[in-house]
Amino acid sequence: MYTKGYEIKDKQFWIVVMSLGLASMFTFAAFYSFQPLLPVLTKSYDISVSYSSMSMSVTTVSLIIGLIVLGFLSDRNGRVLFIKLSIFLSILPFVIIPFMDSYFIIVVLRFIQGFTLAGVPAAALAYIGEEIDAKSSSLATALYISTNALGGMIGRIVAGFVAERYNWQLSLSLIVIFGIIVLIIVLITLPKSKNFISRNRSFKEDLIGFSYHLRNPALLLMFGLGIVLQVTFTGTWTYLPFHLSSPPFSLSLETISYIYFAYAFGILGAPIASWLSNRFTLEKIRVVAILILIIGVACTLHASLLVVLIGLCILCFGFFTAHSLTAASVSRTATHLKGSASSLYLVAYYIGVASGSTLIGPLWDLWKWQGIIYFTLALPIIYLVFLQFSLKLIQNKHANLAYRNTSE
């Protein structure tokens, strides 16, 4: 039997937001903690830059697999179980990794960790949709997405700062402690599902649902935008430590770790996007956000560290605003099976993470920072033009069909 969801005025609303926010913070802190460590790992294990980035890309690939598999399982067995298991199982690889002498084994453990990390994003948004009142769910979703940025910032800053001051192994140990604290809080505070209804669809029926979304041109455009946004964002941040630790900047890893405070501007992006989309059209705000993202990326080409820092702040604000609005577009565009549409968007989103962390690595080998940035600049510009043109064609097609139906 359906029970009315929690509203903003309810204490339980804020408990849910806090619990899921902490779970999200740990998930993204664990996921991105290796990003600032790549230069250290390259030297410690005497490996190439591309090979070191595998600890990010394989985690992303397994996360994508986990989103699909655990998304299906959470539809059948409940959301809370997978959120709690995800946090617990994701802590374990970080307990083992610091003792490994083989980088290959670290990559394997990160692959396993990526799958376990997927439990939180695979179930959290569905939990919000089921347990939070419809009028309050947009705020809960925006706050949840903001904690993604906060978690990514914490993971990068802690890992980079501690690795420079002490060693990279200690940085992972601190994230383990953070994970244990989060797990205890979530176990105690996250309310049981009241409105979860187990879905008894077969795996084949789920795949049919996915295929339906993949035949929707408007949704495909949003999935593609998710990939493009993440390739640009992740590509810039993954190779930033290599760029800033080289001349003319020659910054220490500790100093570079402070730069991840730029993520604070990303934390503001999702709530502001939610607020603006209620006053202007979502499509217009999304275009502005993508343009802001492009401007931020362009600033990082400058020789002045101050301009680079300003560019990174602009980049974070533009990215998280655009990401939030694109996720909202997917939910609005999907006429039914919205959960699987959101899952596919997340899959596309993390394909972008994998591509931005490793697939564009050869650009760094060939042309260093300029190669990375010229590519991450060109990609969103080209796609934005393509997106606007394609959406216009789809709108014209729908208008013509509507005209024909009324004429008949």
Nearest to 376 by CA among 256, 209, 277, 229: 229
What is the per-residue pLDDT for 404? 63
Mean pLDDT for 307-322 is 94
List pLDDT tens digits, range 122-160.
888 778 878 888 778 777 877 888 888 889 889 988 998
Entry field: residues in the chain? 408
Mean pLDDT for 317-341 is 79
173-192 burial code (b ≥16 CB/10 A, e <16): bbbbebbeebbeebeeebee
- 405, pLDDT greater than 70: no
What is the per-residue pLDDT for 145? 80
The Cα 220–Cα 232 span in angstroms is 18
What is the per-residue pLDDT for 196? 76
pLDDT band (50, 70, 90) for residue 293: very high
Q: Considering the chain, what is the average pLDDT of its residues?
A: 87
Residue 132: what are its φ and ψ, rounded to 5°? -105, 135
What is the per-residue pLDDT for 162? 92
The residue with greater pLDDT, 186 or 127, is 186
- Stated as kind and residue range, the H or E segment containing 40 is helix 38-44
Q: Which of 84-93, 180-189, 205-214 has the lowest mean pLDDT?
A: 205-214
pTM for this entry: 0.80
The Cα 41–Cα 102 span in angstroms is 11
Q: Give, rounded to a whole angstrom, the gap between the first and last alpha carbons of the chain.
A: 44
- Report how far Cα 204 is from the mean position of its chain's Cα atoms: 28
List pLDDT tens digits, range 20-29.
999 999 999 9
- 207, pLDDT greater than 80: no
Mean pLDDT for 166-173 is 94
Nearest to 345 by CA among 360, 328, 359: 328
